[in-house]
């Protein structure tokens, strides 16, 4: 229903996201390049050309690290050219394609002793060959769109055309295929969009359907979220990133084919997400074991896995559902994930990353977790380094998520200082600009300038969290804004027409469904799209022993807000009346309910945006805070 506006057509200007994106290009992408090289990710390619004597480094999916980083570069270069970065990447791409075999096959891991394992169906379930190629195709397309250089894209097409399509598929002479880690599905469809070759959609469809010749154990079917007809799924389960990427591929397939069986399944799965599986931060995938979705309502806080990649997958999926419908409920989830569970994944300085994104944290108690290095949740490198370049490509591509066009106009999805120079579906050039201090302020001024006056619709999103809204067109009230919907403003638009939006920035205290055990008796704070958290070092008594367990929010209190320009690159801080319960005395693990309550003193808690946590000294953190009724 909606058409994507290319990244290059949108400029994000100074503001909330510009700061993050500047860090991304000046700090994250260069430092990740160095990390990738230091950990042998390019040596893997050089070794096969006799240019390196290093042994194979990293896990089976290590080629994808290079491809995801290349995709981040490709998106970045679509915004502005960076000649040095381009030269570096060009060189890397040449080393990659030099390893492609005459058959079209390309993978550095399955060589030498491992050569016989290539594309065996057992290997496909865990070997990530197609996952790597999927990321290669995405990186190649982004790079091609930025630079016009088809080197990597041609290599990707050779893999698909020469190696994959002739040899794998339903034909009698073709072999079995399973994606193992879904990713190839959406990249094949993007390749079809890029080249016009519909065979790629068909192959994606075959993979999404599952190859009936491959015997899979029930656990594999759950964990991999592929191998059986996607349309037979009824709930989110298994490895969260696999599951989200499968949903992305399936939505892309629906967008290309209109297959209603897919659409029915996708909506059922989305309802499961929204009703049972979504953290208030937009993160998904509660369980560390198997990096997996938990049961319905299983959303622990300190033990939350909430992998950065899964939150990204969630955003990518909701973006596709939005494209299919123009329904703002999907944008609400996208925005929730982007500002919170994704944005938390990269440190403010852009050099360290969270793999897990828990909603509560105690630095003294977490030493057993394998994703902490020396007790730190943010680290520059993980041997499975999926999340860092995934975050980089997300921020680099962000301008592509702000606007869409439709048959009858323009959609505005996200708010930040920005300028779109694009055209209506009928070809009329149109410029849409935003001026705002979003997300700290709810006021957004949009200027609409078509090249020539004409009637069309400006669809402006009213976020679900904004209960009272004001919309003015050229200074005059425009009625009809409803929370969680796009407001359709159909009129004759001419140059420098304005839309003034004013969203409700009241801080909301949220409760969770009582079936979410760990959130029971607790509230979370949200203001605009931003979810907040307490870090111990912002609290008045931050030297006390019991960390954050003693704070109790007073529901009869009023939240006050204060912008702190020097703190954490500039954040809104919330203050709220609370009680501090003296629970440092040792009651033991269990004690009689008849024991007198500990003494309480009045205090004020202070909260920072969740995305900014763990950017100072290690400290306890919590999003969900116990409350007491008035």
Binding site for a second copy (CB under 8 A): 219, 222, 237, 274-276, 278, 280, 287-289, 292-298, 300-303, 360, 362, 365-366, 368, 370, 508-518, 520-521, 523-524, 546-547, 549-550, 555, 581, 583, 587-595, 626-627
Identify which of 32, 107, 37 has the alpha carbon closest to the alpha carbon of residue 71: 32
Minimum CB distance to a second copy, residue 610 (Å): 14
In degrees and rounded to multiples of 5, residue 58 shows phi and psi of 85, 170
Q: Which is nearer to a second copy, 207 or 623 (CB)?
A: 623
- Tell me the C-alpha distance between 421 and 10, whole Å: 6
Q: Which is nearer to a second copy, 219 or 407 (CB)?
A: 219
Minimum CB distance to a second copy, residue 473 (Å): 30
Q: Which is nearer to a second copy, 407 or 513 (CB)?
A: 513
Q: Which residue has the tokens 């828990």?
A: 358
- Tell me the C-alpha distance between 316 and 212, whole Å: 28
Minimum CB distance to a second copy, residue 558 (Å): 12
- Tell me the C-alpha distance between 47 and 189, whole Å: 32
**Parallel/antiparallel/unpaired status of strands 625-628 and 551-554:** parallel
Q: Which is nearer to a second copy, 309 or 623 (CB)?
A: 623
Minimum CB distance to a second copy, residue 275 (Å): 6
- 267's enclosing H/E stretch is helix 260-272
- Tell me the C-alpha distance between 113 and 100, whole Å: 18
For residue 598, give every residue at least 6 positions away whose Cβ sits within 8 Å of its Cβ, in sequence order, or none: 550, 581, 582, 583, 585
Minimum CB distance to a second copy, residue 365 (Å): 4
CA dist list (Å): 319 to 233, 445, 501, 551: 20, 24, 23, 38
Q: Which is nearer to a second copy, 215 or 591 (CB)?
A: 591
Q: Which is nearer to a second copy, 537 or 583 (CB)?
A: 583
CA atoms within 13 A on the CB side of 508: 17
- Tell me the C-alpha distance between 154 and 146, whole Å: 15
What is the SS3 assignment for 536? helix
User: What sign does the dihedral 82-85-88-94 (CA atoms) show?
Assistant: negative
Minimum CB distance to a second copy, residue 559 (Å): 11
CA dist list (Å): 473 to 4, 430, 467, 498: 25, 17, 20, 6
Q: Which is nearer to a second copy, 149 or 362 (CB)?
A: 362
Q: Which is nearer to a second copy, 374 or 477 (CB)?
A: 374
Residues 287/304, Cβ–Cβ less than 8 Å: no
What is the DSSP-derived secondary structure letter of residue 314?
Answer: H
Minimum CB distance to a second copy, residue 222 (Å): 7
Q: Which is nearer to a second copy, 152 or 512 (CB)?
A: 512
DSSP string, 55-120: PP-S-TTTHHHHHHHHHHHHHHHHHS--HHHHHHHHHHHHHHHTT--TTS---SSS-GGGGGGTT-
- Tell me the C-alpha distance between 80 and 620, whole Å: 40
Q: Which is nearer to a second copy, 142 or 278 (CB)?
A: 278
Minimum CB distance to a second copy, residue 289 (Å): 4
Minimum CB distance to a second copy, residue 553 (Å): 9
Residues 403/413, Cβ–Cβ less than 8 Å: yes
Minimum CB distance to a second copy, residue 110 (Å): 24
In a 10 Å sphere around its CB, with 0-12 CB exposed, 13-18 middle and 19+ buried, how is residue 427 labelled? exposed
What is the DSSP-derived secondary structure letter of residue 10?
Answer: E
Q: Which residue has the tokens 């945006």?
A: 609
Minimum CB distance to a second copy, residue 51 (Å): 32
Q: Which is nearer to a second copy, 160 or 311 (CB)?
A: 311
Q: Which is nearer to a second copy, 370 or 476 (CB)?
A: 370
Q: Which is nearer to a second copy, 496 or 517 (CB)?
A: 517
In degrees and rounded to multiples of 5, residue 251 shows phi and psi of -70, -40
Minimum CB distance to a second copy, residue 511 (Å): 5
Minimum CB distance to a second copy, residue 598 (Å): 9
DSSP string, 114-144: GGGGTT-HHHHHHS-HHHHHHHHHHHHHHHH
Q: Which is nearer to a second copy, 274 or 502 (CB)?
A: 274
Minimum CB distance to a second copy, residue 512 (Å): 6
Q: Which residue has the tokens 């084919």?
A: 257
């Amino acid at each position: 229903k909606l058409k994507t506006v290319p990244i290059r057509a949108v400029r994000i200007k100074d503001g909330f996201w510009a700061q993050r994106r500047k860090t991304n290009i000046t700090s994250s992408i260069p430092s990740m390049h160095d990390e990738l090289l230091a950990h042998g990710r390019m040596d893997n390619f050089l070794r096969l050309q006799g240019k390196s004597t290093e042994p194979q480094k990293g896990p089976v999916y290590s080629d994808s690290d290079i491809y995801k980083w290349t995709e981040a570069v490709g998106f970045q270069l679509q915004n502005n050219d960076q000649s040095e970065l381009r030269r570096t990447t060009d060189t890397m791409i040449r080393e990659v394609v030099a390893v492609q075999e005459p058959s079209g096959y390309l993978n550095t891991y399955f060589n030498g002793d491992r050569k016989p394992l290539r594309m065996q169906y057992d290997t496909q379930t865990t070997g990530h060959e197609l996952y790597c190629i999927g990321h290669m195709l995405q990186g190649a397309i982004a790079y091609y769109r930025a630079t016009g250089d088809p080197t990597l894209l041609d290599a990707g097409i050779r893999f698909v055309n020469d190696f994959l399509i002739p040899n794998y598929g339903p034909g009698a002479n073709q072999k079995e295929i399973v994606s193992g880690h879904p990713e190839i599905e959406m990249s094949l469809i993007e390749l079809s969009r890029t080249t016009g070759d519909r065979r790629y959609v068909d192959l994606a469809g075959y993979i999404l359907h599952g190859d009936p010749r491959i015997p899979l154990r029930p656990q594999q079917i759950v964990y991999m979220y592929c191998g059986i007809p996607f349309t037979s799924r009824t709930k989110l389960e298994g490895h969260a990133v696999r599951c989200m990427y499968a949903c992305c591929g399936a939505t892309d397939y629906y967008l290309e084919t209109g297959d209603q069986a897919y659409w029915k399944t996708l909506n059922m799965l989305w309802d499961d997400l929204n009703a049972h599986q979504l953290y208030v931060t937009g993160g998904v995938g509660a369980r560390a074991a198997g990096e997996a979705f938990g049961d319905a309502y299983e959303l622990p806080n300190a033990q939350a896995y909430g992998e950065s990649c899964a939150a990204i997958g969630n955003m990518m999926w909701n973006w596709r559902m939005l494209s299919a419908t123009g329904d703002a409920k999907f944008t609400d989830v996208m925005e929730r994930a982007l500002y919170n569970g994704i944005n938390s994944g990269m440190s403010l300085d852009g050099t360290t990353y969270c793999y897990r994104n828990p909603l509560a944290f105690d630095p003294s108690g977490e030493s057993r977790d394998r994703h902490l290095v020396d007790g730190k949740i943010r680290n520059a490198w993980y041997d499975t380094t999926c999340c860092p370049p995934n975050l980089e490509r997300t921020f680099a591509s962000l301008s592509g998520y702000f606007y869409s066009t439709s048959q009858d106009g323009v959609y505005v999805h996200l708010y930040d200082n920005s300028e779109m120079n694009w055209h209506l579906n009928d070809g009329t050039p149109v410029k849409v600009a935003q001026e705002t201090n979003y997300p700290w302020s709810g006021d957004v001024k949009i200027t609409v300038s078509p090249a020539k006056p004409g009637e069309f619709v400006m669809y402006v999103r009213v976020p679900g969290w904004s209960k009272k809204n004001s919309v003015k067109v050229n200074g005059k009230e425009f009625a009809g804004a409803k929370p969680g919907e796009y407001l359709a403003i159909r009129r004759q638009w001419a140059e420098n027409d304005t839309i003034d939006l004013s969203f409700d920035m009241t801080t909301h205290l949220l409760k969770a469904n009582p079936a979410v055990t760990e959130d029971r008796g607790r509230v979370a704070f949200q203001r605009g799209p931003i979810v907040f958290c307490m870090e111990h070092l912002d609290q008045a008594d931050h030297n006390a022993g019991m960390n954050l367990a003693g704070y109790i929010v007073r529901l009869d209190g009023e939240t006050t807000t204060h912008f702190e320009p020097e703190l954490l690159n500039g954040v809104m801080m919330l203050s709220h009346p609370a009680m501090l319960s003296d629970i440092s005395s040792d009651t033991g693990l269990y004690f009689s309910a008849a024991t007198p309550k500990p003494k309480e003193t009045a205090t004020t808690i202070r909260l920072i945006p969740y995305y900014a946590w763990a950017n100072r000294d290690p400290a306890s953190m919590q999003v969900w805070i116990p409350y007491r009724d008035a």
